[in-house]
Chain A
Amino acid sequence: MTLTLDTPQLVKTQPLLVARNVSKSYGAVHALRDVSAVVYPGEVLGIVGESGSGKSTFLRCLNLEETPDSGSYTLDLPDVQGNLFDLDRYARRMLCATRIGIVYQNPHLGLLMHHSSSGNVAERLLVAGERRFAVLRDKASAALDASEFPLDRMDAPPVELSGGMQQRVQLAKAIALEPALLLLDEPTTGLDVSVQALVLDTLKRLQQDRRITMVIVSHDLGVIRTLSDRVMVMRRGQVVETGLADQVFQDPQHAYTQQLVHAKL
């Protein structure tokens, strides 16, 4: 007699983001050397490293703002095929406007400082083709609300807001179209500790509620540890260590990672 066990079926998950051997040089400076990364749907990848390690350059490549010298980049999304680095400017713009959200360290890079906060969020919807004013208002306020931005200030321009509020507007803009991938470039750098904690709470809640796939870049190990499932450590344009967040922070293998972790401690 054969006993059949009702074993759970394992479903093979395709990674959402696959970047392979991305290299980028600025003259004689090698900003990235064969950097590869894989991110699964709903996962948060933290990229950590010292200033000049290439982490922001890599993020800009993922946001298609930079074209690397070599390498490939694919996203497992409907209607998105092939190496994204080969896309023309128009296709890149439309892909970034609709499928990828980004929050910059410097709000001036991501926001129109003298337009209203709701207008900044609405711009993304407008680029995607929304032409109903009432829907723009509703969606902008919903995105701002999800970013825990006070709605009574939704028409205030970012130039009149605090740093933390500006980051929330950036975040609302990034999530307005429910992007498949959210890129965060040092989202809490420059904010005081209490505001940092609030922004991190918002990010964590968003990630839990919406299961947004995120790539977060920071030199702050605390931020990376709070948000990330997996961590990639970069130094001088190369990946020196990668692993689960707990594993990397509890048991760092590479000498540089050990230095980083101990410096933090």
Chain B
Amino acid sequence: MTLKSLTRAWEPMSYGFLDGSAKREIRRKMLKAIAVPGCQIPYASREVPMARGWGTGGLQISCTLIHPAMRIKVIDQGADDSVNAASIRNFLARVSGAPVTMDTLQADLIQSRHRIPEERLRADQILVLQVPNPEPLRSVQPNMSIARQMHADADYGRMWLQLYEQIVRSGRVMQGASYPSLVNGRFVMTPSPIPRWDVPKLNMAQHLTILSAGREKRLYAVPPFTRVAPLVFDDVPYRVEDHGHLTCQRSGAAGYFMNEIPQADGTSTFEVSDSELGVKTIRKAEGAPAHIGRTWYENGRLVQ
């Protein structure tokens, strides 16, 4: 037996940036997360060439899942062309050789910060959401050991109390993003800071969603066809943002989640948040070939 026979051959670079053992560990944790929907699974978050808090959790999941035949789409607050989205997309393409796309329908792997695309995702697509703070109980229980016990006991009274307090003080639920949601009737998760508009898209969705927080070293998942129910009182219905009647001033798309652009005269104009949907709408209006898939919302109303 020689020393050479006991060691592996030197490789100049791991495929997809992460080394084999890191990927193996993250895959195991992903499988565990899929087996127990909504349950936060700790993992050994690795260093990646990006600062913590800029999507390192999502990037590690993408690096683990990626292969050259996959098409990657990266979005940041709905936009494909933001600096952060472009940097992550370029990085993933560089370390994997996988082709990139901005079209939701063509993508196999979609890494997103704070939005779910407006076009419906299919069963063969995977959505990776970047999560800054994975613990929904943090605002009501700063002690994480106790918070974990509360998850184990399904002790979510304080979460409901938070909603009660918001209604008492403001007359309505004020939680805008990261709306606490019950997954598969068991674990309350924060669906990352997606707007309330996007939360219903996770319910009984065909696609797999993996949520990962690199800084907090936690990942969790919503497997296909899993119930995701935002916490609501029986007599206070869940409300999404009132964007159904708004029209995008650039593309003319209407009935989708919009970005508000304040104007100098105090008014606001609106642009569709899903930038690729806006581009497709413009192309279609100009007669260029563009296929807009079936969307979650039609005319501002959620379609089941």
Bound-state Cα–Cα, A10 to B99, Å: 88
Bound-state Cα–Cα, A133 to B158, Å? 14
Q: Is the CB of A133 within 8 A of B233?
A: yes
Whether a CB of chain B sits under 8 angstroms from the CB of A118 is yes
- Name the residue of chain A whose CB is nearest to the CB of B160: A126
Given contacts A90-B153, A93-B155, A127-B155, contact A133 B167 (CB under 8 A): yes
A131 interfacial by beta-carbon distance below 8 Å = yes
| CB-contact partner of B168 in A89, A112, A119, under 8 A | A119
- Could you give, for residues 148-172 of chain B, a 1 whenever the CB lies within 8 Å of some chain A CB and a 0 otherwise? 0100010101101100110111000
Query: Is A132 an interface position by the 8 A CB rule?
Result: yes
Chain A's interface size range is: 10 to 19
Q: Mark A102-136, 1 if CB is under 8 A from B, else 0.
A: 00000000001001101100110011000111101
Number of interface residues of B (CB under 8 A): 16
Complex Cα spacing A132 to B234, Å: 5
* Minimum distance in angstroms from A167 CB to a CB of chain B: 21
In the docked arrangement, what's the CA distance between A93 and B153, Å? 9
CB of A118 within 8 A of CB of B168, answer: yes
In the complex formed, the residue of B with least CB distance to A124 is B157
Write the nearest CB–CB distance from A233 to chain B, whole angstroms: 37
Using known A-B contacts A132-B235, A133-B233, determine if residue A122 contacts B164 with beta carbons closer than 8 Å: yes
User: What string of 1s and 0s marks CB contacts (under 8 Å) between A143-184 and chain B?
Assistant: 000000000000100000000000000000000000000000
B236 at the interface (CB under 8 A from A): yes
User: How many whole Å from B109's CB to the nearest CB in chain A?
Assistant: 38
Establish whether residues A89 and B153, one from each chain, have CB atoms under 8 Å apart when the complex forms. yes
Q: Which residues 78-128 in B have Cβ within 8 Å of A in the complex?
A: none
Task: Give CA–CA (A118, B161) in the complex, Å.
Answer: 10
Contact A122 B161 (CB under 8 A): yes
Task: Point out residues on A near B: beta carbons under 8 Å.
Answer: 89-90, 93, 112, 115-116, 118-119, 122-123, 126-127, 131-134, 136, 155
Query: Other than the known A115-B165, A119-B161, A133-B167, what 7 A-B pairs have Cβ atoms closer than 8 Å?
Result: A116-B165, A118-B168, A119-B165, A123-B157, A126-B157, A126-B161, A134-B235
Closest 5 CB pairs of A and B: A127-B157, A133-B233, A126-B160, A126-B157, A132-B234
